[in-house]
Amino acid sequence: MTEVGTLAARIRAEVGKAVIGQTDTVDLMLTALFCGGHILLEGPPGTAKTLLAQSFARSLSLDFGRIQFTPDLMPGDILGSNIFNFQTSTFTLTRGPVFCDILLADEINRTPPKTQAALLEAMQERSVTVDGDTHVLSDRFTVIATQNPIEQQGVYPLPEAQLDRFLFKQTLDYPSRDDELKVVEAHGSRGGMPDPVALGVQPVADAAAVAAAIAMVGRVRLAPEITAYVVDLVRATRESADLETGASPRAAAMLALASRARAALDGRDYVIPDDVKTLALPALRHKVVLSPAAEIEGRRVNQVIGSLIEQAAAPR
């Protein structure tokens, strides 16, 4: 477990060379990677969502792919397609960018639902089906998706089934004044888009190290009272009058697994209630739907989830 914590610290340090602040987001990305989950980053333009994903992937010696989602993107542009080879008179699969370890799905809400759905099987089962043939993806396949919550024209909100595939939804806000000063000092003298390589981000973990960390997460102990705490917290979302739809049992299982990964990042082989509390909001905010009455009253999902976390009795 100490090695997992050390590895996480090295990755944080490398990402910090390019992205100032956002340490909580980096921790969520590490948690998602080590427990086989996916993460959705939502924030206004210019908050380093893309740079954060690129720097994170750069710090890992894993195969990296990127898709810039646009309204005219087709499922075949993501998955690939079978091309007829006239020399051999056979069809050959030309693999799309989804065949990688870390996939940056940039501005995922800019493409129609038909194309968004191309990722459903990949994210859930780590496989894709092309012309009836199933192709297995990497065991480490992780999607880091970004979306802009401000614009309303030319965007296609992700359906509930797609959102449920994401382990976390993290909202990125504008940095503090001190952090923004550091951003301007670091990037105000360069033209063009920031490049993680030019900013000194180096790979510090290979596939073997990531596989070892994932294996260690499975050895983290989850006490029965912690399991009950997770279940009670998720069930409370279904009983709340402020929520029309609560989180599913799958959300509870994913939160429990993420809590194990969070404990491993801190070098512990056991989960504590604070692990669950830290992850509950990003793990549940996109898996619930506000009730009409709560919307009329101006309540927000974050407020409702936060209240449920405070009310849930944590084990001692």
pLDDT tens profile 117-128 = 889 989 999 999
pLDDT tens per residue, range 69-82 = 999 999 999 998 88
Q: What pLDDT sits at residue 183?
A: 86
Q: Is residue 187 pLDDT above 90, yes or no?
A: no
Mean residue pLDDT of the chain comes to: 90
pLDDT band at 175 (very low <50, low <70, confident <90, very high): confident
Q: What pLDDT sits at residue 85?
A: 79
Q: Is the pLDDT higher at 191 or at 34?
A: 34
pLDDT band at 307 (very low <50, low <70, confident <90, very high): very high
Q: Is the pLDDT higher at 123 or at 190?
A: 123
Q: What pLDDT sits at residue 107?
A: 92
Q: What pLDDT sits at residue 199?
A: 85
Q: Is residue 190 pLDDT above 80, yes or no?
A: no
Q: Is residue 200 pLDDT above 70, yes or no?
A: yes
Q: What is the mean pLDDT of residues 193-206?
A: 86
Q: What pLDDT sits at residue 132?
A: 84
**22-31, 67-76, 79-88, 200-209: the lowest-pLDDT one:** 79-88
Q: Is residue 162 pLDDT above 90, yes or no?
A: no
b/e 226-240 (16+ beta carbons within 10 angstroms → b): bbebbeebbbbbeeb
Q: Is residue 151 pLDDT above 70, yes or no?
A: no
pLDDT band at 9 (very low <50, low <70, confident <90, very high): very high
pLDDT tens per residue, range 209-262 = 999 999 999 899 999 999 999 999 999 999 999 999 999 999 999 999 999 999
Q: Is residue 94 pLDDT above 90, yes or no?
A: no
Q: What pLDDT sits at residue 81?
A: 87
Q: What pLDDT sits at residue 229?
A: 96
In angstroms, the CA 268 to CA 226 distance is: 15
Q: Is residue 289 pLDDT above 70, yes or no?
A: yes
Who's near 316: CB < 8 A, 6+ residues apart? none
For the chain, give the percent of residues with pLDDT over 70. 98
Q: What pLDDT sits at residue 153?
A: 67
